Structure 1
Protein backbone atom coordinates (compact mmCIF):
# COMPACT_ATOMS: atom_id res chain seq x y z
CA UNK A 1 0.00 0.00 0.00
CA UNK A 2 1.20 3.47 -0.89
CA UNK A 3 2.20 5.41 2.23
CA UNK A 4 2.50 8.71 0.35
CA UNK A 5 -0.22 11.35 0.30
CA UNK A 6 -2.34 11.26 -2.84
CA UNK A 7 -1.93 14.97 -3.53
CA UNK A 8 0.84 17.49 -3.19
CA UNK A 9 0.39 20.19 -0.58
CA UNK A 10 -1.25 23.32 -1.95
CA UNK A 11 1.92 25.36 -1.44
CA UNK A 12 4.15 22.85 -3.25
CA UNK A 13 1.62 22.48 -6.07
CA UNK A 14 1.41 26.27 -6.40
CA UNK A 15 5.20 26.61 -6.56
CA UNK A 16 5.49 23.86 -9.18
CA UNK A 17 2.74 25.50 -11.20
CA UNK A 18 4.47 28.90 -11.06
CA UNK A 19 7.76 27.45 -12.32
CA UNK A 20 5.90 25.70 -15.14
CA UNK A 21 4.00 28.86 -16.10
CA UNK A 22 7.34 30.70 -16.28
CA UNK A 23 8.81 27.85 -18.32
CA UNK A 24 5.83 27.81 -20.68
CA UNK A 25 6.13 31.56 -21.29
CA UNK A 26 9.81 31.15 -22.09
CA UNK A 27 9.14 28.16 -24.36
CA UNK A 28 6.56 30.18 -26.29
CA UNK A 29 9.32 32.72 -26.94
CA UNK A 30 11.57 29.83 -28.06
CA UNK A 31 13.87 30.40 -25.07
CA UNK A 32 14.07 26.67 -24.47
CA UNK A 33 17.17 26.53 -22.29
CA UNK A 34 15.68 29.07 -19.91
CA UNK A 35 12.38 27.17 -20.02
CA UNK A 36 14.11 23.91 -19.07
CA UNK A 37 15.78 25.74 -16.19
CA UNK A 38 12.33 26.70 -14.86
CA UNK A 39 10.91 23.23 -15.45
CA UNK A 40 13.87 21.72 -13.61
CA UNK A 41 13.07 23.95 -10.62
CA UNK A 42 9.54 22.52 -10.71
CA UNK A 43 10.96 18.99 -10.97
CA UNK A 44 13.11 19.57 -7.88
CA UNK A 45 9.97 20.48 -5.90
CA UNK A 46 8.33 17.11 -6.53
CA UNK A 47 8.89 14.74 -3.60
CA UNK A 48 10.39 11.28 -3.91
CA UNK A 49 9.44 8.89 -5.28
CA UNK A 50 8.82 11.25 -8.17
CA UNK A 51 6.99 8.69 -10.29
CA UNK A 52 4.14 8.65 -7.71
CA UNK A 53 2.95 12.17 -8.57
CA UNK A 54 0.81 13.42 -11.44
CA UNK A 55 2.85 16.61 -11.44
CA UNK A 56 5.84 14.57 -12.58
CA UNK A 57 4.02 13.61 -15.75
CA UNK A 58 3.33 17.15 -16.87
CA UNK A 59 6.67 18.55 -15.73
CA UNK A 60 8.52 15.82 -17.62
CA UNK A 61 6.33 16.44 -20.68
CA UNK A 62 7.32 20.10 -20.59
CA UNK A 63 11.02 19.27 -20.15
CA UNK A 64 10.87 16.76 -23.01
CA UNK A 65 9.07 19.19 -25.30
CA UNK A 66 11.62 21.96 -24.71
CA UNK A 67 14.52 19.53 -25.15
CA UNK A 68 12.93 18.24 -28.37
CA UNK A 69 12.79 21.76 -29.81
CA UNK A 70 16.39 22.43 -28.71
CA UNK A 71 17.48 19.34 -30.61
CA UNK A 72 18.50 17.57 -27.40
CA UNK A 73 16.84 14.30 -28.35
CA UNK A 74 18.68 12.19 -25.76
CA UNK A 75 17.45 14.39 -22.90
CA UNK A 76 13.95 14.47 -24.40
CA UNK A 77 13.94 10.68 -24.63
CA UNK A 78 15.05 10.26 -21.01
CA UNK A 79 12.28 12.55 -19.78
CA UNK A 80 9.66 10.86 -21.97
CA UNK A 81 10.65 7.35 -20.95
CA UNK A 82 10.51 8.28 -17.27
CA UNK A 83 7.14 10.03 -17.77
CA UNK A 84 5.67 6.76 -19.02
CA UNK A 85 6.08 5.41 -15.46
CA UNK A 86 4.28 8.35 -13.90
CA UNK A 87 0.51 8.66 -13.38
CA UNK A 88 -1.26 9.16 -16.70
CA UNK A 89 1.94 8.79 -18.69
CA UNK A 90 1.30 5.54 -20.49
CA UNK A 91 -1.45 6.20 -22.99
CA UNK A 92 -0.89 9.97 -23.08
CA UNK A 93 -1.03 10.79 -26.81
CA UNK A 94 1.36 13.74 -26.55
CA UNK A 95 4.02 11.73 -24.72
CA UNK A 96 3.73 8.91 -27.26
CA UNK A 97 3.97 11.44 -30.10
CA UNK A 98 7.16 13.03 -28.80
CA UNK A 99 8.71 9.68 -27.93
CA UNK A 100 7.87 8.39 -31.41
CA UNK A 101 9.48 11.44 -32.98
CA UNK A 102 12.62 11.05 -30.88
CA UNK A 103 12.85 7.35 -31.75
CA UNK A 104 12.27 8.12 -35.44
CA UNK A 105 15.08 10.69 -35.39
CA UNK A 106 17.33 8.10 -33.70
CA UNK A 107 16.63 5.62 -36.51
CA UNK A 108 14.71 3.23 -34.23
CA UNK A 109 11.91 2.91 -36.75
CA UNK A 110 9.98 -0.06 -35.36
CA UNK A 111 9.79 1.50 -31.90
CA UNK A 112 8.98 4.87 -33.48
CA UNK A 113 6.10 3.37 -35.44
CA UNK A 114 4.70 1.81 -32.27
CA UNK A 115 4.83 5.08 -30.33
CA UNK A 116 3.47 7.16 -33.22
CA UNK A 117 0.60 4.70 -33.62
CA UNK A 118 -0.19 5.03 -29.91
CA UNK A 119 -0.27 8.81 -30.38
CA UNK A 120 -2.53 8.44 -33.42
CA UNK A 121 -4.90 6.04 -31.66
CA UNK A 122 -5.13 8.31 -28.63
CA UNK A 123 -5.19 11.68 -30.34
CA UNK A 124 -6.24 11.06 -33.92
CA UNK A 125 -4.63 12.60 -36.95
CA UNK A 126 -5.00 16.08 -35.51
CA UNK A 127 -2.23 15.38 -32.97
CA UNK A 128 0.15 15.55 -35.94
CA UNK A 129 -1.31 18.79 -37.33
CA UNK A 130 1.36 21.13 -35.95
CA UNK A 131 4.23 18.67 -36.35
CA UNK A 132 6.75 18.10 -39.12
CA UNK A 133 4.85 16.19 -41.81
CA UNK A 134 7.57 13.53 -42.10
CA UNK A 135 6.44 11.85 -38.88
CA UNK A 136 2.86 11.40 -40.04
CA UNK A 137 4.00 10.38 -43.54
CA UNK A 138 6.19 7.70 -41.95
CA UNK A 139 3.29 6.42 -39.86
CA UNK A 140 0.93 6.36 -42.83
CA UNK A 141 3.45 4.37 -44.87
CA UNK A 142 4.47 2.05 -42.04
CA UNK A 143 0.98 1.35 -40.70
CA UNK A 144 -0.87 1.75 -43.99
CA UNK A 145 -3.44 4.09 -42.46
Structure 2
Protein backbone atom coordinates (compact mmCIF):
# COMPACT_ATOMS: atom_id res chain seq x y z
CA UNK A 1 0.00 0.00 0.00
CA UNK A 2 1.32 3.47 -0.82
CA UNK A 3 2.20 6.06 1.78
CA UNK A 4 -0.68 8.24 0.58
CA UNK A 5 -3.19 5.39 0.86
CA UNK A 6 -1.94 4.49 4.34
CA UNK A 7 -2.22 8.13 5.38
CA UNK A 8 -5.79 8.29 4.08
CA UNK A 9 -6.61 5.12 6.02
CA UNK A 10 -5.18 6.77 9.15
CA UNK A 11 -7.36 9.82 8.60
CA UNK A 12 -10.44 7.59 8.47
CA UNK A 13 -9.46 6.06 11.81
CA UNK A 14 -8.97 9.55 13.27
CA UNK A 15 -12.45 10.53 12.08
CA UNK A 16 -13.76 7.48 13.96
CA UNK A 17 -11.63 8.45 17.01
CA UNK A 18 -9.73 5.17 16.72
CA UNK A 19 -6.37 6.71 17.51
CA UNK A 20 -4.35 3.53 18.10
CA UNK A 21 -5.41 2.20 14.70
CA UNK A 22 -4.75 5.61 13.13
CA UNK A 23 -1.28 5.62 14.66
CA UNK A 24 -0.55 2.21 13.12
CA UNK A 25 -1.61 3.51 9.70
CA UNK A 26 0.42 6.71 10.02
CA UNK A 27 3.49 4.77 11.18
CA UNK A 28 3.08 2.48 8.16
CA UNK A 29 2.76 5.57 5.94
CA UNK A 30 6.04 6.86 7.39
CA UNK A 31 7.72 3.50 6.84
CA UNK A 32 6.48 3.48 3.22
CA UNK A 33 8.15 6.82 2.42
CA UNK A 34 11.27 6.47 0.32
CA UNK A 35 14.60 7.59 1.75
CA UNK A 36 15.51 10.20 2.67
CA UNK A 37 12.13 10.34 4.44
CA UNK A 38 12.59 13.87 5.77
CA UNK A 39 12.87 15.18 2.20
CA UNK A 40 9.53 13.73 1.09
CA UNK A 41 6.62 16.10 0.57
CA UNK A 42 4.30 14.14 2.88
CA UNK A 43 6.82 13.76 5.74
CA UNK A 44 5.65 16.78 7.76
CA UNK A 45 1.99 15.81 7.45
CA UNK A 46 2.68 12.24 8.56
CA UNK A 47 4.80 13.32 11.53
CA UNK A 48 2.15 15.81 12.65
CA UNK A 49 -0.54 13.13 12.37
CA UNK A 50 1.59 10.71 14.41
CA UNK A 51 2.08 13.41 17.03
CA UNK A 52 -1.65 14.10 17.13
CA UNK A 53 -2.44 10.42 17.68
CA UNK A 54 0.07 10.22 20.51
CA UNK A 55 -1.56 13.31 22.01
CA UNK A 56 -4.99 11.66 21.98
CA UNK A 57 -3.46 8.49 23.42
CA UNK A 58 -1.87 10.62 26.19
CA UNK A 59 1.63 9.48 25.28
CA UNK A 60 3.20 12.87 25.92
CA UNK A 61 6.86 12.10 25.29
CA UNK A 62 6.09 10.34 22.00
CA UNK A 63 3.79 13.25 21.02
CA UNK A 64 6.62 15.70 21.65
CA UNK A 65 9.19 13.58 19.82
CA UNK A 66 6.96 13.13 16.76
CA UNK A 67 6.35 16.88 16.49
CA UNK A 68 10.07 17.53 16.89
CA UNK A 69 10.55 15.15 13.97
CA UNK A 70 8.03 17.21 11.97
CA UNK A 71 10.19 20.27 12.65
CA UNK A 72 13.30 18.39 11.49
CA UNK A 73 11.38 17.57 8.29
CA UNK A 74 10.75 21.28 7.69
CA UNK A 75 7.53 22.10 9.57
CA UNK A 76 7.31 25.79 10.39
CA UNK A 77 7.70 26.87 14.01
CA UNK A 78 5.07 29.47 13.14
CA UNK A 79 2.45 26.78 12.44
CA UNK A 80 -0.18 27.04 15.20
CA UNK A 81 -0.89 23.29 15.24
CA UNK A 82 2.81 22.44 15.59
CA UNK A 83 3.13 24.95 18.43
CA UNK A 84 -0.07 23.70 20.09
CA UNK A 85 0.95 20.04 20.24
CA UNK A 86 4.50 20.87 21.32
CA UNK A 87 3.22 23.16 24.07
CA UNK A 88 0.60 20.70 25.26
CA UNK A 89 3.05 17.81 25.39
CA UNK A 90 5.62 19.93 27.24
CA UNK A 91 2.96 20.98 29.75
CA UNK A 92 2.00 17.34 30.35
CA UNK A 93 5.68 16.45 30.74
CA UNK A 94 5.98 19.08 33.49
CA UNK A 95 8.01 21.65 31.55
CA UNK A 96 5.64 24.56 32.13
CA UNK A 97 8.04 27.35 31.22
CA UNK A 98 8.81 25.89 27.80
CA UNK A 99 5.15 24.92 27.34
CA UNK A 100 4.11 28.55 27.79
CA UNK A 101 6.71 29.62 25.21
CA UNK A 102 5.00 27.37 22.64
CA UNK A 103 1.37 27.94 23.67
CA UNK A 104 1.17 31.72 24.11
CA UNK A 105 1.91 32.45 20.41
CA UNK A 106 -0.89 30.05 19.43
CA UNK A 107 -3.25 32.07 21.60
CA UNK A 108 -2.01 35.36 20.16
CA UNK A 109 -2.43 34.08 16.58
CA UNK A 110 -5.62 32.03 16.90
CA UNK A 111 -7.41 33.18 20.05
CA UNK A 112 -9.37 30.73 22.18
CA UNK A 113 -10.46 28.33 19.42
CA UNK A 114 -7.51 25.88 19.59
CA UNK A 115 -8.03 25.52 23.35
CA UNK A 116 -11.78 24.96 23.46
CA UNK A 117 -11.56 21.15 23.61
CA UNK A 118 -9.43 21.29 26.74
CA UNK A 119 -9.35 24.68 28.46
CA UNK A 120 -6.73 23.62 31.04
CA UNK A 121 -3.98 24.74 28.66
CA UNK A 122 -5.58 28.15 28.20
CA UNK A 123 -6.08 28.56 31.94
CA UNK A 124 -2.47 27.49 32.55
CA UNK A 125 -0.78 30.19 30.51
CA UNK A 126 -3.42 32.91 30.77
CA UNK A 127 -2.73 32.88 34.49
CA UNK A 128 0.87 33.76 33.66
CA UNK A 129 0.02 36.69 31.36
CA UNK A 130 -0.84 40.19 32.47
CA UNK A 131 -4.02 41.33 30.71
CA UNK A 132 -3.66 44.25 28.34
CA UNK A 133 -4.70 47.70 29.51
CA UNK A 134 -8.49 47.70 29.67
CA UNK A 135 -8.65 43.90 30.06
CA UNK A 136 -8.87 41.03 27.64
CA UNK A 137 -10.87 41.69 24.46
CA UNK A 138 -14.17 39.80 24.07
CA UNK A 139 -13.49 36.24 22.96
CA UNK A 140 -9.87 36.27 24.08
Cα 1:92–1:76 change in 2 (3 A) is same
Using structure 1 for the length normalisation, give the TM-score. Answer: 0.80
Residue of structure 1 in register with 2:9 after alignment? 22
Q: CA RMSD in A?
A: 1.8
Between Structure 1 and Structure 2, the one with more helix by share is 1
User: How far 1:122 moved relative to its partner?
Assistant: 3.8
Using structure 2 for the length normalisation, give the TM-score. Answer: 0.83
Cα 1:31–1:90 change in 2 (3 A) is same
1:46 aligns with 2:30: no
Report if the CA contact (8 A) 2:61-2:93 is conserved.
no
Q: Name the count of aligned residue pairs.
A: 131
Report if the CA contact (8 A) 1:96-1:119 is conserved.
yes
List gaps (5 residues or longer) in structure 2. Answer: 132-140
List gaps (5 residues or longer) in structure 1. Answer: 1-11
User: How far 1:111 moved relative to its partner?
Assistant: 0.5
